[in-house]
């Protein structure tokens, strides 16, 4: 029995996140059905984590057990003929028997994209947060520095999560601007439910003057969700890298 590791790209606009749900179209369900059409058997895919409705992925890692004889260098081409155009398999490889896409991961990078212009950019519809008001990148970077390190991030999590601890370590946050497009890249050992979207919303509040960057350390320590910024829209969030 092979343990096959896949790397996927997907536009999450038309999906209710990664994980299979009743009465909702998800990425996991769609990929599993495509694998069944290819191999004759529907696997139980293990994903590197959940993504919310409307969230995208540049490199989403999943794995499944299979007795298929299709070589890994041919598998992406074969699988892509069965996948819809908003999901693409970009790599396949045989993994060790004990490899688990979720449990074996030691870190992830997410990117959040903001289209900071007066009018919407039609090419970023459903792929970025259109924010029309002026943002001070310098103030956003000052605020971002306070997130670096190990903290209890319960004040930056949406309700409804079930985890043993809300302590996470963020190793880096990079903020860049290219024309009207602002990109926030966050790397950490793990993230709580909606954590990156709340961090992005908080950095926007720092950029527009609603939050003083110097207050971020106290806001994090307060563990008070009401003191942080809004939850940024899902359409701007991308899973860009998973580390093993």
Q: In this structure, which topology does domain 109-243 adopt according to CATH?
A: Alpha-Beta Plaits (3.30.70)
pLDDT (tens digit, 9 = 90+) per residue, 214-236? Answer: 999 999 999 999 999 999 999 99
| Active-site residue flag, 52 | yes
In sequence order, what are the residues at sequence separation of 6 or more whose Cβ sits closer than 8 angstroms to the Cβ of residue 32? 20, 42, 43, 44, 45
User: Any idea what DSSP says for residue 95?
Assistant: P
Q: Where in the chain is the domain with CATH 3.30.70.580?
A: 2-94
- CATH code of the region 2-94: 3.30.70.580
Write down the catalytic residue from 11, 52, 100, 214: 52
pLDDT (tens digit, 9 = 90+) per residue, 98-148? Answer: 999 999 999 999 999 999 999 999 999 999 999 999 999 999 999 999 999
Is residue 211 within 8 A of residue 222, CB to CB? The reply is no
Is pLDDT above 90 for 69? yes
**Residues of the chain by 3-state class (helix, strand, coil), percent to 5:** 30, 30, 40
Q: Where in the chain is the domain with CATH 3.30.70.660?
A: 109-243
pLDDT (tens digit, 9 = 90+) per residue, 154-206? Answer: 999 987 777 889 999 999 999 999 999 999 999 999 999 999 999 999 999 99
CA atoms within 13 A on the CB side of 219: 22
């Amino acid at each position: 029995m092979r343990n096959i590791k896949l790397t996927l790209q997907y536009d999450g606009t038309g999906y209710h996140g990664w994980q299979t749900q009743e009465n909702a179209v998800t990425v996991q369900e769609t990929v599993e059905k495509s694998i069944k059409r290819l191999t004759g058997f529907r696997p139980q895919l293990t994903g590197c984590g959940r993504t919310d409705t409307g969230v995208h992925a540049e490199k989403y890692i999943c794995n499944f057990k299979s007795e298929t004889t299709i070589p890994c260098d041919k598998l992406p081409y074969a699988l892509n003929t069965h996948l819809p155009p908003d999901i693409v398999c970009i790599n396949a490889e045989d993994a060790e028997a004990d490899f688990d896409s979720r449990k074996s991961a030691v870190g992830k990078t997410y990117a959040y994209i903001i289209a900071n212009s007066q009018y919407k950019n039609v090419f970023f519809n459903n792929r970025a947060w259109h924010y029309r008001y002026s943002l001070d990148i310098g103030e956003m970077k000052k605020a971002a520095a306070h997130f670096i390190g190990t903290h209890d991030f319960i004040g930056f999590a949406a309700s409804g999560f079930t985890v043993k601890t809300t302590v996470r370590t963020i190793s880096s946050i990079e903020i860049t601007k290219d024309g009207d497009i602002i990109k926030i890249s966050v790397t950490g050992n793990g993230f709580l439910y909606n954590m990156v979207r709340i961090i992005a919303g908080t950095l926007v509040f720092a950029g527009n003057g609603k939050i003083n960057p110097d207050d971020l350390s106290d806001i994090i320590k307060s563990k008070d969700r009401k003191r942080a910024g809004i939850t940024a829209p899902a359409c701007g969030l991308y899973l860009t890298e998973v580390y093993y």
